[in-house]
Protein backbone atom coordinates (compact mmCIF):
# COMPACT_ATOMS: atom_id res chain seq x y z
CA UNK A 1 0.00 0.00 0.00
CA UNK A 2 1.49 3.38 -1.04
CA UNK A 3 0.30 6.82 -0.05
CA UNK A 4 0.49 10.15 -1.88
CA UNK A 5 -0.34 13.59 -0.59
CA UNK A 6 -1.58 15.81 -3.45
CA UNK A 7 -1.24 19.48 -2.57
CA UNK A 8 -3.92 20.68 -4.98
CA UNK A 9 -5.81 18.09 -7.02
CA UNK A 10 -8.65 17.87 -9.51
CA UNK A 11 -11.10 15.30 -8.09
CA UNK A 12 -14.41 14.34 -9.76
CA UNK A 13 -16.22 17.06 -7.79
CA UNK A 14 -13.64 19.76 -8.35
CA UNK A 15 -10.39 21.06 -6.90
CA UNK A 16 -9.31 20.10 -3.41
CA UNK A 17 -6.24 20.67 -1.24
CA UNK A 18 -4.12 18.14 0.64
CA UNK A 19 -5.70 15.02 -0.80
CA UNK A 20 -4.35 11.88 0.81
CA UNK A 21 -4.48 9.00 -1.68
CA UNK A 22 -3.95 5.32 -0.86
CA UNK A 23 -2.92 2.99 -3.66
CA UNK A 24 -3.03 -0.82 -3.57
CA UNK A 25 -0.57 -3.31 -5.03
CA UNK A 26 -2.45 -3.38 -8.36
CA UNK A 27 -1.96 0.38 -8.69
CA UNK A 28 -5.59 1.22 -7.99
CA UNK A 29 -6.73 4.00 -5.68
CA UNK A 30 -8.49 2.72 -2.57
CA UNK A 31 -9.04 6.08 -0.83
CA UNK A 32 -8.79 9.77 -1.69
CA UNK A 33 -9.57 12.18 1.15
CA UNK A 34 -9.04 15.95 1.00
CA UNK A 35 -7.90 18.16 3.88
CA UNK A 36 -5.57 15.54 5.20
CA UNK A 37 -1.94 15.22 6.16
CA UNK A 38 0.65 12.47 6.34
CA UNK A 39 4.33 13.23 6.69
CA UNK A 40 5.33 9.80 5.34
CA UNK A 41 3.28 10.02 2.09
CA UNK A 42 4.95 11.01 -1.21
CA UNK A 43 4.21 14.71 -1.61
CA UNK A 44 3.10 16.02 -5.04
CA UNK A 45 3.50 19.72 -4.41
CA UNK A 46 1.45 21.58 -7.03
CA UNK A 47 -1.66 21.16 -9.19
CA UNK A 48 -2.31 17.44 -9.86
CA UNK A 49 -4.47 16.18 -12.72
CA UNK A 50 -5.59 12.65 -13.57
CA UNK A 51 -3.52 11.15 -16.42
CA UNK A 52 -5.13 11.56 -19.84
CA UNK A 53 -6.03 8.57 -22.08
CA UNK A 54 -4.72 8.89 -25.65
CA UNK A 55 -7.46 7.14 -27.59
CA UNK A 56 -5.84 6.87 -31.00
CA UNK A 57 -2.28 6.04 -31.99
CA UNK A 58 -0.39 4.54 -34.90
CA UNK A 59 2.96 4.43 -33.14
CA UNK A 60 5.15 3.90 -36.20
CA UNK A 61 3.90 7.10 -37.80
CA UNK A 62 5.72 9.15 -35.16
CA UNK A 63 8.94 8.46 -37.04
CA UNK A 64 7.64 10.06 -40.25
CA UNK A 65 6.18 13.17 -38.61
CA UNK A 66 7.47 16.13 -40.61
CA UNK A 67 8.60 14.02 -43.56
CA UNK A 68 5.46 14.59 -45.60
CA UNK A 69 5.52 18.38 -45.61
CA UNK A 70 7.30 18.76 -48.93
CA UNK A 71 4.89 19.21 -51.84
CA UNK A 72 4.61 16.41 -54.34
CA UNK A 73 5.24 16.50 -58.09
CA UNK A 74 1.67 17.44 -58.94
CA UNK A 75 -0.59 20.05 -57.40
CA UNK A 76 -3.22 18.88 -54.95
CA UNK A 77 -1.43 17.13 -52.11
CA UNK A 78 -4.02 15.56 -49.87
CA UNK A 79 -4.72 12.94 -47.24
CA UNK A 80 -4.41 10.37 -50.02
CA UNK A 81 -0.96 11.48 -51.20
CA UNK A 82 0.17 11.59 -47.54
CA UNK A 83 -1.09 8.03 -47.27
CA UNK A 84 1.16 6.92 -50.12
CA UNK A 85 4.20 8.41 -48.32
CA UNK A 86 3.08 6.69 -45.14
CA UNK A 87 2.72 3.32 -46.91
CA UNK A 88 6.22 3.65 -48.36
CA UNK A 89 7.59 4.42 -44.93
CA UNK A 90 5.67 1.55 -43.28
CA UNK A 91 6.93 -0.93 -45.85
CA UNK A 92 10.52 -0.56 -44.60
CA UNK A 93 10.10 -0.98 -40.86
CA UNK A 94 11.59 -3.96 -39.03
CA UNK A 95 10.26 -5.32 -35.73
CA UNK A 96 13.22 -3.63 -33.96
CA UNK A 97 12.29 -0.31 -35.57
CA UNK A 98 8.68 -0.64 -34.48
CA UNK A 99 9.71 -1.25 -30.87
CA UNK A 100 12.29 1.56 -30.86
CA UNK A 101 9.85 4.09 -32.34
CA UNK A 102 7.00 3.07 -30.03
CA UNK A 103 9.28 3.15 -26.96
CA UNK A 104 10.40 6.70 -27.69
CA UNK A 105 6.86 7.79 -28.54
CA UNK A 106 5.34 6.33 -25.38
CA UNK A 107 7.97 8.06 -23.24
CA UNK A 108 7.06 11.34 -24.97
CA UNK A 109 3.36 10.69 -24.40
CA UNK A 110 4.02 10.28 -20.68
CA UNK A 111 6.03 13.50 -20.62
CA UNK A 112 3.03 15.17 -22.28
CA UNK A 113 0.52 13.90 -19.70
CA UNK A 114 -0.94 10.88 -21.50
CA UNK A 115 -0.80 7.89 -19.15
CA UNK A 116 -2.39 5.27 -21.41
CA UNK A 117 -2.77 4.78 -25.12
CA UNK A 118 -5.11 2.91 -27.46
CA UNK A 119 -2.77 1.55 -30.10
CA UNK A 120 -4.64 1.06 -33.38
CA UNK A 121 -2.19 -1.46 -34.66
CA UNK A 122 -2.26 -2.51 -38.30
CA UNK A 123 1.32 -3.25 -39.21
CA UNK A 124 1.16 -7.01 -38.70
CA UNK A 125 3.23 -8.87 -41.30
CA UNK A 126 6.56 -8.83 -43.09
CA UNK A 127 6.99 -6.55 -46.07
CA UNK A 128 5.16 -8.37 -48.87
CA UNK A 129 2.57 -9.75 -46.50
CA UNK A 130 3.98 -13.04 -45.20
CA UNK A 131 3.26 -13.41 -41.48
CA UNK A 132 6.24 -13.47 -39.11
CA UNK A 133 7.17 -16.82 -37.52
CA UNK A 134 5.15 -15.54 -34.60
CA UNK A 135 2.14 -13.90 -36.28
CA UNK A 136 1.82 -11.61 -33.23
CA UNK A 137 5.45 -10.43 -33.52
CA UNK A 138 4.71 -6.77 -34.12
CA UNK A 139 1.94 -6.65 -31.51
CA UNK A 140 4.43 -8.06 -29.03
CA UNK A 141 6.86 -5.27 -29.93
CA UNK A 142 4.16 -2.75 -29.06
CA UNK A 143 3.51 -4.49 -25.75
CA UNK A 144 7.23 -4.53 -24.98
CA UNK A 145 7.54 -0.81 -25.75
CA UNK A 146 4.58 -0.05 -23.47
CA UNK A 147 6.15 -2.10 -20.69
CA UNK A 148 9.52 -0.38 -21.06
CA UNK A 149 7.94 3.07 -21.03
CA UNK A 150 5.45 2.17 -18.29
CA UNK A 151 2.37 3.48 -20.12
CA UNK A 152 -1.11 1.93 -19.94
CA UNK A 153 -2.04 0.15 -23.17
CA UNK A 154 -5.26 -0.84 -24.86
CA UNK A 155 -4.04 -2.89 -27.75
CA UNK A 156 -6.31 -2.85 -30.78
CA UNK A 157 -5.17 -5.28 -33.47
CA UNK A 158 -6.61 -4.00 -36.72
CA UNK A 159 -8.87 -6.06 -38.91
CA UNK A 160 -8.09 -5.10 -42.48
CA UNK A 161 -8.85 -7.14 -45.59
CA UNK A 162 -9.98 -4.88 -48.44
CA UNK A 163 -8.86 -1.78 -50.30
CA UNK A 164 -12.20 -0.01 -50.59
CA UNK A 165 -16.00 -0.26 -50.29
CA UNK A 166 -17.61 -3.27 -51.90
CA UNK A 167 -14.76 -5.73 -51.14
CA UNK A 168 -12.33 -3.97 -53.44
CA UNK A 169 -9.02 -5.88 -53.55
CA UNK A 170 -6.22 -4.27 -51.52
CA UNK A 171 -3.17 -2.60 -53.04
CA UNK A 172 0.28 -4.15 -52.97
CA UNK A 173 1.33 -1.68 -50.28
CA UNK A 174 -1.44 -2.77 -47.93
CA UNK A 175 -0.24 -6.38 -47.71
CA UNK A 176 1.42 -6.00 -44.33
CA UNK A 177 -1.97 -5.16 -42.84
CA UNK A 178 -4.20 -8.01 -44.02
CA UNK A 179 -6.09 -10.81 -42.24
CA UNK A 180 -9.03 -13.03 -42.96
CA UNK A 181 -11.52 -13.77 -40.18
CA UNK A 182 -9.80 -16.96 -39.01
CA UNK A 183 -6.28 -15.54 -38.85
CA UNK A 184 -7.61 -12.49 -37.06
CA UNK A 185 -9.41 -14.61 -34.44
CA UNK A 186 -6.16 -16.53 -33.85
CA UNK A 187 -4.26 -13.27 -33.38
CA UNK A 188 -6.74 -12.08 -30.73
CA UNK A 189 -6.49 -15.44 -28.96
CA UNK A 190 -2.70 -15.38 -29.02
CA UNK A 191 -2.59 -11.92 -27.45
CA UNK A 192 -5.16 -12.55 -24.74
CA UNK A 193 -2.89 -13.95 -21.99
CA UNK A 194 -0.58 -10.91 -21.98
CA UNK A 195 -3.41 -8.42 -21.92
CA UNK A 196 -5.57 -9.92 -19.21
CA UNK A 197 -5.71 -9.35 -15.46
CA UNK A 198 -3.79 -6.08 -15.34
CA UNK A 199 -5.31 -2.71 -14.55
CA UNK A 200 -3.09 -1.13 -17.22
CA UNK A 201 -3.72 -3.51 -20.13
CA UNK A 202 -6.74 -4.25 -22.28
CA UNK A 203 -7.34 -6.05 -25.55
CA UNK A 204 -9.83 -4.67 -28.05
CA UNK A 205 -10.35 -4.67 -31.79
CA UNK A 206 -10.22 -2.19 -34.60
CA UNK A 207 -11.92 -2.80 -37.91
CA UNK A 208 -9.72 -0.32 -39.82
CA UNK A 209 -12.57 1.43 -41.60
CA UNK A 210 -15.69 0.57 -43.56
CA UNK A 211 -13.35 0.63 -46.57
CA UNK A 212 -11.26 -2.24 -45.19
CA UNK A 213 -13.96 -4.74 -44.16
CA UNK A 214 -17.21 -6.08 -45.52
CA UNK A 215 -20.33 -6.25 -43.32
CA UNK A 216 -19.75 -10.01 -42.95
CA UNK A 217 -16.12 -9.62 -41.93
CA UNK A 218 -17.07 -6.89 -39.46
CA UNK A 219 -19.59 -9.25 -37.88
CA UNK A 220 -17.10 -12.15 -37.75
CA UNK A 221 -14.40 -9.95 -36.21
CA UNK A 222 -16.72 -8.75 -33.47
CA UNK A 223 -17.81 -12.33 -32.78
CA UNK A 224 -14.15 -13.33 -32.35
CA UNK A 225 -13.65 -10.50 -29.86
CA UNK A 226 -16.88 -11.24 -28.00
CA UNK A 227 -15.75 -14.83 -27.48
CA UNK A 228 -12.86 -13.39 -25.44
CA UNK A 229 -14.43 -10.32 -23.82
CA UNK A 230 -17.91 -9.16 -24.75
CA UNK A 231 -17.29 -5.72 -23.21
CA UNK A 232 -13.97 -5.09 -24.96
CA UNK A 233 -13.49 -1.83 -26.86
CA UNK A 234 -14.13 -1.58 -30.63
CA UNK A 235 -12.57 1.32 -32.56
CA UNK A 236 -13.02 2.24 -36.21
CA UNK A 237 -11.82 5.08 -38.47
CA UNK A 238 -14.86 6.72 -39.99
CA UNK A 239 -15.89 9.69 -42.14
CA UNK A 240 -12.54 11.43 -41.89
CA UNK A 241 -12.43 12.49 -45.52
CA UNK A 242 -15.26 13.58 -47.80
CA UNK A 243 -14.10 11.04 -50.40
CA UNK A 244 -14.99 8.28 -47.94
CA UNK A 245 -18.45 9.77 -47.47
CA UNK A 246 -18.96 9.90 -51.26
CA UNK A 247 -17.71 6.33 -51.77
CA UNK A 248 -19.92 5.05 -48.98
CA UNK A 249 -22.94 6.79 -50.50
CA UNK A 250 -22.15 5.21 -53.86
CA UNK A 251 -21.82 1.77 -52.25
CA UNK A 252 -24.75 1.81 -49.83
CA UNK A 253 -26.81 4.95 -50.42
CA UNK A 254 -25.88 6.00 -46.89
CA UNK A 255 -23.24 8.13 -45.23
CA UNK A 256 -20.60 6.14 -43.25
CA UNK A 257 -21.76 7.06 -39.75
CA UNK A 258 -25.37 6.66 -40.79
CA UNK A 259 -24.63 3.22 -42.23
CA UNK A 260 -22.82 2.10 -39.08
CA UNK A 261 -25.51 3.43 -36.73
CA UNK A 262 -28.16 1.68 -38.84
CA UNK A 263 -26.51 -1.68 -38.08
CA UNK A 264 -27.82 -1.35 -34.53
CA UNK A 265 -24.52 -2.41 -32.96
CA UNK A 266 -22.96 0.88 -31.88
CA UNK A 267 -22.94 1.36 -28.11
CA UNK A 268 -20.55 2.47 -25.38
CA UNK A 269 -17.94 -0.10 -26.40
CA UNK A 270 -17.38 1.83 -29.62
CA UNK A 271 -15.03 4.62 -30.48
CA UNK A 272 -15.67 6.28 -33.84
CA UNK A 273 -12.32 7.80 -34.72
CA UNK A 274 -12.54 11.22 -36.42
CA UNK A 275 -16.25 11.08 -37.42
CA UNK A 276 -15.42 14.46 -38.94
CA UNK A 277 -18.14 14.59 -41.56
CA UNK A 278 -21.49 14.31 -39.81
CA UNK A 279 -24.79 15.78 -40.88
CA UNK A 280 -27.14 17.16 -38.21
CA UNK A 281 -29.00 13.89 -37.82
CA UNK A 282 -25.84 11.79 -37.54
CA UNK A 283 -24.53 14.24 -34.92
CA UNK A 284 -27.59 13.71 -32.73
CA UNK A 285 -27.70 9.96 -33.27
CA UNK A 286 -24.00 9.47 -32.54
CA UNK A 287 -24.36 11.49 -29.33
CA UNK A 288 -27.33 9.36 -28.29
CA UNK A 289 -25.47 6.09 -28.98
CA UNK A 290 -23.10 6.67 -26.00
CA UNK A 291 -20.15 5.78 -28.23
CA UNK A 292 -17.10 8.03 -28.06
CA UNK A 293 -16.04 10.30 -30.91
CA UNK A 294 -12.26 9.91 -31.12
CA UNK A 295 -11.02 13.37 -32.05
CA UNK A 296 -7.44 13.92 -33.20
CA UNK A 297 -7.32 17.66 -33.86
CA UNK A 298 -3.63 18.07 -34.70
CA UNK A 299 -3.59 15.15 -37.12
CA UNK A 300 -6.92 16.19 -38.63
CA UNK A 301 -5.49 19.66 -39.24
CA UNK A 302 -2.26 18.27 -40.64
CA UNK A 303 -4.10 15.96 -43.04
CA UNK A 304 -6.70 18.54 -44.08
CA UNK A 305 -9.66 16.49 -42.89
CA UNK A 306 -12.18 19.10 -41.87
CA UNK A 307 -13.75 20.19 -38.59
CA UNK A 308 -15.87 18.02 -36.33
CA UNK A 309 -19.19 19.60 -35.23
CA UNK A 310 -18.12 19.65 -31.58
CA UNK A 311 -20.49 22.37 -30.39
CA UNK A 312 -23.70 20.64 -31.48
CA UNK A 313 -22.38 17.20 -30.56
CA UNK A 314 -21.34 18.17 -27.05
CA UNK A 315 -24.55 20.16 -26.55
CA UNK A 316 -26.33 16.84 -27.21
CA UNK A 317 -24.16 15.22 -24.47
CA UNK A 318 -22.01 13.46 -27.06
CA UNK A 319 -18.90 11.84 -25.63
CA UNK A 320 -15.43 12.75 -26.85
CA UNK A 321 -11.84 11.80 -26.26
CA UNK A 322 -8.55 12.87 -27.84
CA UNK A 323 -5.86 10.99 -29.71
CA UNK A 324 -2.54 11.98 -31.21
CA UNK A 325 -3.05 9.57 -34.14
CA UNK A 326 -0.18 10.25 -36.62
CA UNK A 327 1.77 12.02 -33.83
CA UNK A 328 2.51 15.14 -35.81
CA UNK A 329 2.16 16.53 -32.30
CA UNK A 330 2.21 14.65 -28.98
CA UNK A 331 0.57 17.00 -26.52
CA UNK A 332 -2.59 16.84 -24.42
CA UNK A 333 -2.64 20.62 -24.19
CA UNK A 334 -2.21 21.21 -27.92
CA UNK A 335 -4.90 18.77 -29.00
CA UNK A 336 -7.43 20.25 -26.57
CA UNK A 337 -6.48 23.79 -27.56
CA UNK A 338 -6.81 23.07 -31.27
CA UNK A 339 -10.16 21.36 -30.71
CA UNK A 340 -11.44 24.63 -29.22
CA UNK A 341 -9.67 26.85 -31.76
CA UNK A 342 -11.18 25.03 -34.75
CA UNK A 343 -14.63 25.81 -33.39
CA UNK A 344 -13.68 29.44 -32.62
CA UNK A 345 -12.37 29.98 -36.14
CA UNK A 346 -15.52 28.77 -37.85
CA UNK A 347 -17.87 30.51 -35.39
CA UNK A 348 -15.85 33.70 -34.97
CA UNK A 349 -16.48 33.46 -31.28
CA UNK A 350 -14.63 32.58 -28.02
CA UNK A 351 -14.95 30.05 -25.14
CA UNK A 352 -17.13 28.06 -27.50
CA UNK A 353 -16.86 24.67 -25.79
CA UNK A 354 -16.96 25.97 -22.20
CA UNK A 355 -20.50 24.59 -21.99
CA UNK A 356 -22.23 27.63 -20.50
CA UNK A 357 -21.63 30.97 -18.80
CA UNK A 358 -18.89 31.47 -16.20
CA UNK A 359 -17.12 28.21 -16.94
CA UNK A 360 -13.57 27.18 -17.71
CA UNK A 361 -13.09 26.01 -21.28
CA UNK A 362 -10.01 24.01 -20.32
CA UNK A 363 -11.82 22.25 -17.50
CA UNK A 364 -14.78 21.27 -19.68
CA UNK A 365 -12.55 19.88 -22.42
CA UNK A 366 -10.12 18.18 -20.08
CA UNK A 367 -12.87 16.42 -18.12
CA UNK A 368 -14.76 15.39 -21.24
CA UNK A 369 -11.61 13.89 -22.75
CA UNK A 370 -10.75 12.08 -19.51
CA UNK A 371 -14.14 10.48 -19.29
CA UNK A 372 -14.56 9.62 -22.96
CA UNK A 373 -10.96 8.47 -23.22
CA UNK A 374 -11.26 6.13 -20.24
CA UNK A 375 -14.43 4.66 -21.74
CA UNK A 376 -12.81 4.20 -25.14
CA UNK A 377 -9.76 2.49 -23.66
CA UNK A 378 -11.86 0.34 -21.33
CA UNK A 379 -9.46 1.07 -18.50
CA UNK A 380 -10.12 2.15 -14.91
CA UNK A 381 -8.61 5.61 -15.27
CA UNK A 382 -9.49 9.26 -15.75
CA UNK A 383 -10.35 10.18 -12.16
CA UNK A 384 -8.57 10.57 -8.85
CA UNK A 385 -11.09 8.43 -7.00
CA UNK A 386 -11.37 4.95 -5.50
CA UNK A 387 -11.37 2.15 -8.08
CA UNK A 388 -9.38 4.21 -10.59
CA UNK A 389 -5.73 3.74 -11.40
CA UNK A 390 -3.27 6.00 -9.63
CA UNK A 391 -2.25 8.01 -12.72
CA UNK A 392 -1.14 11.49 -11.68
CA UNK A 393 0.17 14.44 -13.68
CA UNK A 394 1.86 17.09 -11.55
CA UNK A 395 2.05 20.55 -13.10
CA UNK A 396 4.99 22.76 -12.25
CA UNK A 397 3.64 25.63 -10.16
CA UNK A 398 6.96 27.43 -10.71
CA UNK A 399 6.52 27.46 -14.50
CA UNK A 400 6.10 31.03 -15.80
CA UNK A 401 2.77 30.22 -17.45
CA UNK A 402 1.37 28.90 -14.17
CA UNK A 403 2.68 31.56 -11.83
CA UNK A 404 0.04 32.65 -9.34
CA UNK A 405 -2.62 30.40 -10.87
CA UNK A 406 -4.63 27.70 -9.12
CA UNK A 407 -7.53 25.40 -9.95
CA UNK A 408 -9.27 26.01 -13.27
CA UNK A 409 -7.04 29.02 -13.91
CA UNK A 410 -4.01 26.73 -13.79
CA UNK A 411 -5.70 24.23 -16.10
CA UNK A 412 -6.70 26.95 -18.58
CA UNK A 413 -3.21 28.44 -18.44
CA UNK A 414 -1.60 25.07 -19.08
CA UNK A 415 -3.87 24.34 -22.08
CA UNK A 416 -4.07 27.78 -23.68
CA UNK A 417 -0.90 29.58 -22.68
CA UNK A 418 1.64 27.46 -24.47
CA UNK A 419 5.22 27.76 -23.25
CA UNK A 420 8.12 26.07 -24.99
CA UNK A 421 9.35 24.31 -21.90
CA UNK A 422 6.71 21.82 -20.76
CA UNK A 423 4.91 22.73 -17.55
CA UNK A 424 4.50 19.03 -16.64
CA UNK A 425 6.87 18.07 -13.86
CA UNK A 426 6.11 14.56 -12.70
CA UNK A 427 3.94 11.72 -13.94
CA UNK A 428 2.87 8.52 -12.18
CA UNK A 429 1.17 5.50 -13.74
CA UNK A 430 -0.47 3.00 -11.37
CA UNK A 431 1.52 4.68 -8.60
CA UNK A 432 4.85 4.25 -10.43
CA UNK A 433 7.00 7.28 -11.05
CA UNK A 434 7.69 7.44 -14.81
CA UNK A 435 8.42 11.13 -15.46
CA UNK A 436 10.67 13.05 -13.09
CA UNK A 437 11.32 16.77 -13.50
CA UNK A 438 9.87 16.73 -16.99
CA UNK A 439 11.91 13.79 -18.28
CA UNK A 440 10.94 10.17 -18.66
CA UNK A 441 13.04 8.00 -16.35
CA UNK A 442 14.36 5.98 -19.32
CA UNK A 443 14.50 8.84 -21.78
CA UNK A 444 18.20 8.56 -22.57
CA UNK A 445 18.16 4.87 -23.32
CA UNK A 446 14.95 5.10 -25.34
CA UNK A 447 16.17 8.14 -27.29
CA UNK A 448 19.44 6.37 -28.14
CA UNK A 449 17.64 3.31 -29.52
CA UNK A 450 15.25 5.52 -31.44
CA UNK A 451 18.06 7.63 -32.92
CA UNK A 452 19.86 4.51 -34.07
CA UNK A 453 16.75 3.11 -35.76
CA UNK A 454 15.96 6.40 -37.48
CA UNK A 455 19.47 7.00 -38.75
CA UNK A 456 19.44 3.60 -40.37
CA UNK A 457 15.93 4.02 -41.79
CA UNK A 458 16.49 7.47 -43.24
CA UNK A 459 19.90 6.68 -44.70
CA UNK A 460 18.81 3.60 -46.59
C1 LIG B 1 -4.16 5.12 -40.98
N2 LIG B 1 -4.73 7.44 -40.69
O3 LIG B 1 -4.64 3.99 -40.94
O4 LIG B 1 -3.02 5.35 -40.57
C5 LIG B 1 -5.02 6.25 -41.45
C6 LIG B 1 -4.78 6.52 -42.90
C7 LIG B 1 -6.55 5.25 -44.15
C8 LIG B 1 -5.71 8.31 -40.44
N9 LIG B 1 -6.89 8.00 -40.86
C10 LIG B 1 -5.10 5.40 -43.80
N11 LIG B 1 -5.48 9.44 -39.83
O12 LIG B 1 -7.41 5.81 -43.48
O13 LIG B 1 -6.80 4.54 -45.12
ZN1 LIG C 1 -5.83 6.59 -37.38
**17 plus 84 within the same structural domain:** no
- With a 6 A CB cut-off, is 302 part of the ligand 1 pocket? no
- With a 6 A CB cut-off, is 220 part of the ligand 1 pocket? no
Is the residue at 212 inside a domain? Answer: no
Catalytic residues: 274, 325
Predicted model pTM: 0.98
* Contact yes or no for 46/396 (Cβ under 8 A): yes
**Ligand 1 atom nearest residue 86's Cα:** 4
Ligand 2 centroid–CA 378 distance in Å is 18
**282 plus 390 within the same structural domain:** no
**264 plus 370 within the same structural domain:** yes
Q: What is the domain extent for residue 349?
A: 52-116+127-152+237-377
**250 plus 337 within the same structural domain:** yes
**337 plus 398 within the same structural domain:** no
- With a 6 A CB cut-off, is 235 part of the ligand 1 pocket? no
* Contact yes or no for 236/273 (Cβ under 8 A): yes
**45 plus 56 within the same structural domain:** no
Residue 347 sits in a domain whose CATH number is 3.20.20.140
The H or E element spanning position 6 is strand 2-11
**306 plus 349 within the same structural domain:** yes
**Ligand 1 atom nearest residue 61's Cα:** 4
Cβ density class 205-228: b for 16+ within 10 Å, e for less? bbbbbbbbbeeebbebbbebbeeb
Q: What percent of the chain has pLDDT over 90?
A: 99
**278 plus 131 within the same structural domain:** yes
d(CA 28, CA 316): 32
Mutation probe of ligand 1 site: the residue of 120, 178, 240 with most atoms within 8 A of C-beta: 240
Overall domain count for the chain? 2
pLDDT digits (tens, 9 = 90+) for 333-348: 999 999 999 999 999 9
- Domain boundary, last residue among 377, 412, 436: 377
pLDDT digits (tens, 9 = 90+) for 46-82: 999 999 999 999 999 999 999 999 999 999 999 999 9
**332 plus 436 within the same structural domain:** no
d(CA 117, CA 77): 30
The mean pLDDT of 306-325, rounded to a whole number, is: 98
1 band by pLDDT with thresholds 50, 70 and 90: confident
What pLDDT score does 460 carry? 73
Is the residue at 170 inside a domain? Answer: no
* Contact yes or no for 292/317 (Cβ under 8 A): no
- With a 6 A CB cut-off, is 276 part of the ligand 1 pocket? no
**39 plus 82 within the same structural domain:** no
- Domain boundary, last residue among 338, 362, 377: 377
> For ligand 2, a single-atom ion, which residues have Cβ within 5 Å?
325
What pLDDT score does 355 carry? 96
Residue 429 sits in a domain whose CATH number is 2.30.40.10
Amino acid sequence: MRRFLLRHALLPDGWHDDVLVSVDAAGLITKATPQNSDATATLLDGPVLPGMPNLHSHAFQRAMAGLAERSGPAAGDSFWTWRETMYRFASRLTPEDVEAIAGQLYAEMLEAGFTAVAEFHYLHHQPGGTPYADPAELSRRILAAADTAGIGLTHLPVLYRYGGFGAKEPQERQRRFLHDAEAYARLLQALTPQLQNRSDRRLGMAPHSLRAVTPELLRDGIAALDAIDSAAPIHIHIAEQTAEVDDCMAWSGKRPVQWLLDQGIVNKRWCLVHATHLDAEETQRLAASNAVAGLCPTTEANLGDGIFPAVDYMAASGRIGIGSDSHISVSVAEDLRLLEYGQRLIRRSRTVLAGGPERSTGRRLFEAALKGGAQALGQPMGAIAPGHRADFVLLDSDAPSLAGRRGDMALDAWIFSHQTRSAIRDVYVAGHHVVENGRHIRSEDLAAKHRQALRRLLQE
